[in-house]
C-alpha cells in the first residue's frame, strides 16, 4: 500500500475543489476519460470555453436537458473540434479588438477522443496547429471508438482486439502499430505538447497548467483507461494507467520548444505482460506476441531516453 503513495507526493486536498465537470454525467463506472477531463478542468478553471468532438465525453456530458458542464461548451461534429476551437479563438480575438467581447484571455480548449483526433479529426487538428491558434487540444485516448461500441482506431495498440479488428483464426486483432499522435503533433513545431495520464494527477495537472500558460497551440495526449473497451475490472482504470506508464507502454514526457523531457525516467520497467494481463482485449495474445510487443516498447522507450539526453545537451 505504501508503494502506491510514492507516485503521489502531494496533497490532493489542496487542489481546487470546484467541479466544472459535474457529477451526474453518464460515463461508465470507472471511466478513465471522465477522470482525465475532471482533472484538466481543475486547472483550466471557469474562464474556459470547451469545443468538443463527438464521442464518449460529448455524449455522456450533454444529453438534453442535462449538461455536466459548468463552463461554456460547444459540440459541432466529430472531425472538427480543432476547427471549431480555431473559430472560437479567432472570433474572440476580433471581437475583443472591436470591444465587443469582454477583455482578458479565455482558455480555449478543444477536446476529442483518439478517433476524433487521430483519424477523422487529424486534418482539422493539423490545420489549427499550423495556423498557430492560441488554444489547447486535449486528446483523451482510450484507444478505440468506444462510444460507438469499441471499434478500432489508428490509436488502437498492436494486438488489441476490437469489434472491427477482432482476434480470430486469421488475425491477431489490430495488425498495425498505434499511430504516434504526439510525434505528428510535434512535427508541427508547436511550443508545447505532453503526454499525460490521470493516474498521475499532479503530473497531468502541471502539464495542463503549462499548456494553458503557453501562448500558441498546445497539445495534451492523455491515456484514458476504458474498463468497458479494454475489458478490465471497473475499479482498475487508475491502476491500468499506472501500469501503462510503469511498463513504458505509455511514456510520460513533454516537448517544450522542440526539446523532449521525460517526466519519469525509469531505468527498470515492469514487463508489459503485467499491463496487458488484466485486459480482456489482450487475452488472446501468445507469449511470442507479447515478446514482440515488449521489444517494440523497449525500443521506443530507449529512443525517447536517447532523444531526451540529446535535447538536454542542446
Partner 1 sequence: MASDKPTWKEYPMAATIHQPGSATGQNTGDWRSERPIRHPEKCDKCGICWIFCPDAALFMNEEGFYEVDLYHCKGCGICVRECAKGAIEMVEEGE
Partner 2 sequence: MGERTGLEVSLAVSEAVKLARVEAVAAYPITPQTHIVEELAQMVADGHLEAEFIMVESEHSAMSACCGTSAVGARTYTATASQGLALMHEMLFIASGLRLPIVMTIANRALSAPLSIWGDQSDVMAERDCGWIQVFAETGQDAFDLSVQMFKICEDKRVLLPGIVNIDGFTLSHVIEPLELESQEDIDAFLPPYEAQVILDPRKPVTIGPVGFPEIYTEIKMQQNQALLGSYEVVLEVWAEWEKKFGRAYKPVESYCAEDAEILINIAGAVSGTARVAIDRMREEGRKVGMIRPRLWRPYPFEDMRAAVKGAKGVAVVDRALSFGGPGGPIASELRSCLYPLAEKPVVASFIAGLGGRDVTIDDFYTIVAETEKIIETGYTDEYKMIGVRE
Total number of residues binding partner 2 (CB under 8 A)?
A: 48
Q: Which does 127 bind (CB under 5 to 8 A by kind): partner 1, partner 2, none?
A: partner 2
Region of 63-71, 86-94, 157-165, 255-263 interacting with partner 1 (CB under 8 A): 63-71
Q: Does 87 bind partner 2 (CB under 8 A)?
A: yes
Looking only at residues 238 through 257 of this chain, which bind partner 1 when binding is defined by CB under 8 A?
238-239
- Give 145 or 230: the residue with its C-beta nearer to partner 2: 145
Q: Judging by beta carbons within 10 Å of its beta carbon (0-12, 13-18, 19+), is residue 267 exposed, middle or buried?
A: exposed
Cα angle at 211 between 205 and 217, to 5 degrees? 150
Closest CA to 199 of 136, 244, 144, 140: 244
Q: Does 267 bind partner 1 (CB under 8 A)?
A: no
Compute the least distance from the CB of residue 144 to partner 2, in Å: 21
Among 48, 52, 61, 165, binds partner 1 (CB under 8 A): 61
Q: Which does 187 bind (CB under 5 to 8 A by kind): partner 1, partner 2, none?
A: none
Q: Does 185 bind partner 2 (CB under 8 A)?
A: no
What does the block give as the cell for 215? 501562448
Among 120, 190, 236, 243, binds partner 1 (CB under 8 A): 236
Q: What's the sign of the alpha-carbon dihedral 184, 185, 190, 194?
A: negative
CB 70 within 8 A of CB 20: yes
Q: Does 33 bind partner 2 (CB under 8 A)?
A: no
Q: Does 287 bind partner 1 (CB under 8 A)?
A: no
What does the block give as the cell for 212? 494553458
How many of the other CB atoms lie within 10 Å of CB of 170? 5
Among 6, 13, 98, 169, binds partner 2 (CB under 8 A): 98
**50-83: b or e for each residue (b if 16 or more CB lie within 10 Å)?**
bbbbbbbbbbbbbeeeeebbebebebbebbbbbb
How far from 164 is each of 66, 160, 276, CA to CA, in Å?
32, 11, 20
CB 126 within 8 A of CB 107: no
Q: Which does 51 bind (CB under 5 to 8 A by kind): partner 2, partner 1, none?
A: partner 2
User: Could you list the residues that contact partner 2 (CB under 8 A)?
Assistant: 46-49, 51, 58-59, 62-65, 67, 69-77, 79-80, 83-95, 97-98, 100-102, 106, 123-124, 126-127, 130-131
Interface residues with partner 1 (CB under 8 A)?
A: 1-2, 4-5, 8, 11-13, 15, 17, 19, 21-27, 29-32, 34-35, 38-39, 61-62, 64-71, 198, 201, 227, 233-239
Amino acid at each position: 500500500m505504501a508503494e502506491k503513495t510514492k507516485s503521489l507526493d502531494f496533497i490532493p486536498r489542496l487542489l481546487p475543489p470546484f467541479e466544472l465537470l459535474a457529477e451526474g454525467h453518464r460515463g461508465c463506472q470507472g471511466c478513465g476519460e471522465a477522470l482525465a477531463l475532471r482533472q484538466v478542468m481543475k486547472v483550466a478553471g471557469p474562464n474556459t470555453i470547451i469545443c468538443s468532438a463527438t464521442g464518449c465525453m460529448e455524449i455522456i456530458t450533454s444529453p438534453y436537458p442535462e449538461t455536466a458542464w459548468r463552463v461554456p461548451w460547444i459540440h459541432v461534429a466529430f472531425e472538427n473540434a480543432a476547427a471549431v476551437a480555431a473559430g472560437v479563438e479567432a472570433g474572440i480575438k476580433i471581437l475583443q479588438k472591436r470591444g465587443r467581447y469582454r477583455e482578458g484571455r479565455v482558455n480555449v480548449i478543444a477536446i476529442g477522443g483518439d478517433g476524433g483526433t487521430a483519424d477523422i479529426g487529424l486534418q482539422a487538428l493539423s490545420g489549427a496547429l499550423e495556423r498557430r491558434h492560441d488554444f489547447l487540444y486535449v486528446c483523451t485516448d482510450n484507444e478505440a471508438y468506444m462510444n460507438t461500441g469499441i471499434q478500432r482506431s489508428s490509436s488502437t495498440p498492436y494486438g488489441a482486439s476490437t469489434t472491427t479488428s477482432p482476434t480470430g483464426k486469421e488475425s491477431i486483432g489490430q495488425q498495425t502499430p498505434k499511430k504516434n499522435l504526439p510525434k505528428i503533433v510535434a512535427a508541427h513545431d508547436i511550443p508545447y505538447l505532453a503526454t499525460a495520464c490521470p493516474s498521475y494527477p499532479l503530473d497531468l495537472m502541471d502539464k495542463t497548467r503549462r499548456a494553458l500558460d503557453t501562448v500558441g497551440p498546445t497539445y495534451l495526449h492523455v491515456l484514458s483507461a476504458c474498463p468497458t473497451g479494454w475489458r478490465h475490472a471497473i475499479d482498475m482504470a487508475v491502476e491500468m494507467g499506472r501500469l501503462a506508464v510503469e511498463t513504458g507502454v505509455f511514456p510520460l514526457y513533454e516537448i517544450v520548444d522542440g526539446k523532449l523531457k521525460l517526466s519519469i525516467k525509469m531505468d527498470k520497467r515492469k514487463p508489459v505482460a503485467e499491463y496487458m494481463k488484466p485486459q480482456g482485449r489482450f487475452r488472446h495474445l501468445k507469449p511470442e506476441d507479447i515478446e514482440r510487443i515488449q521489444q517494440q516498447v523497449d525500443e521506443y522507450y530507449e529512443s525517447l531516453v536517447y532523444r531526451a539526453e540529446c535535447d538536454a545537451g542542446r
